[in-house]
């Protein structure tokens, strides 16, 4: 039986897609996924993804660095926001980090709370997409690309990533493509030569924030800046390279 390659366009739909023997690729393309991958590239010890602001603050009392945002803005009293440029080696090497975001860490916790299903979770980003593809192609599990979206709605950047990853995975003839994956593939194939232009032209939300997010968006839409594959183990994100 062939393996399934499926896509869930919003966490609100996750319960309809979750099934056993699956690797979840969680993507929050701008910015959480890239920030998490960058933190591991710069030798963070591990990351605890948390859903609530107060929970993250409690970790600070335990000696963790804490990072987080709501609606794109850094949270008051936190060490870092959600820009990948916050997670430099100088800031993060050797540190334990608790991280909360509007969308990405919510999606991770959604999967984390469904442990009974024999599901693995990795973090997907344009910046680790080739290494991620190689890793996934070596597995013998179904793949579900879980888009974190924007407050449980569909967004263009995660959808574009899902299409790009599906396109790369399908170079190997080992997957049964399900309907949502065909949809994201078609979106990717019609995205043109510039991820940045495609995303900005199709996202009034991001276009309205371009004045302070342009550098981050360009970074997050750049492929293969790292080979790090963050992996959820015992409620923590760790480096697959460990």
pTM of the model: 0.96
Query: What are residue 177's phi and psi, to 5 degrees?
Result: -90, 125
Give the rounded percent of residues in the chain with a pLDDT score beyond 70.
98
Please say if the pLDDT value at position 1 is more than 90. no
User: Is the confidence at residue 115, as pLDDT, over 70?
Assistant: no
Residue-wise pLDDT tens digits, 198-227: 999 999 999 999 999 999 999 999 999 999
What pLDDT, on the 0 to 100 scale, is given for residue 172? 87
pLDDT band at 116 (very low <50, low <70, confident <90, very high): low
Region 38-66 average pLDDT: 96
- Quote the CA–CA distance of 38 and 237 in Å, as a whole number: 13
User: Mind listing the domains of the chain with CATH numbers?
Assistant: 3-239 (3.90.1560.10)
Q: β-strands 73-74, 65-70: how paired?
A: antiparallel
Produce one character per residue of 154-188: b if its CB has 16 or more CB atoms within 10 Å, e if not.
Answer: ebbbbbbbbbbbbebbeeeeebebeebbebbbebb
Token representation of residue 69 = 């945002």
Res 242: pLDDT: 45
């Amino acid at each position: 039986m062939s393996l399934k390659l499926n896509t869930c366009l919003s966490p609100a739909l996750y319960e309809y897609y979750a099934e056993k023997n699956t690797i979840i690729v969680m993507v929050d393309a701008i910015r959480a996924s890239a920030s998490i991958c960058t933190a591991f590239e710069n030798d963070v010890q591990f990351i605890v993804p948390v859903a609530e602001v107060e929970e993250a603050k409690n970790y600070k009392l335990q000696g963790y660095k804490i990072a987080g945002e709501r609606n794109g803005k850094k949270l008051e009293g936190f060490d870092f926001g959600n820009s990948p440029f916050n997670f430099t080696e100088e800031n993060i090497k050797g540190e334990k980090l608790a991280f909360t975001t509007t969308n990405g860490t919510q999606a991770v916790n959604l999967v984390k709370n469904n442990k009974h299903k024999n599901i693995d979770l990795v973090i997907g980003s344009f910046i680790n997409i080739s290494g991620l593809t190689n890793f996934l192609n070596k597995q013998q599990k179904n793949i579900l690309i879980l888009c974190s979206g924007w407050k449980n709605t569909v967004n263009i950047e995660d959808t574009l990533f899902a299409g790009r990853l599906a396109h790369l995975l399908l170079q190997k003839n080992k997957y049964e493509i399900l309907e949502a994956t065909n949809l994201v593939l078609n979106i990717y194939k019609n995205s043109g030569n510039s991820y940045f232009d495609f995303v900005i032209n199709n996202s009034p939300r991001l276009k309205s924030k371009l004045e302070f997010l342009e550098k981050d968006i360009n970074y997050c839409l750049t492929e293969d800046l790292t080979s790090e594959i963050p992996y959820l183990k015992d409620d923590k994100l760790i480096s697959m390279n460990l």
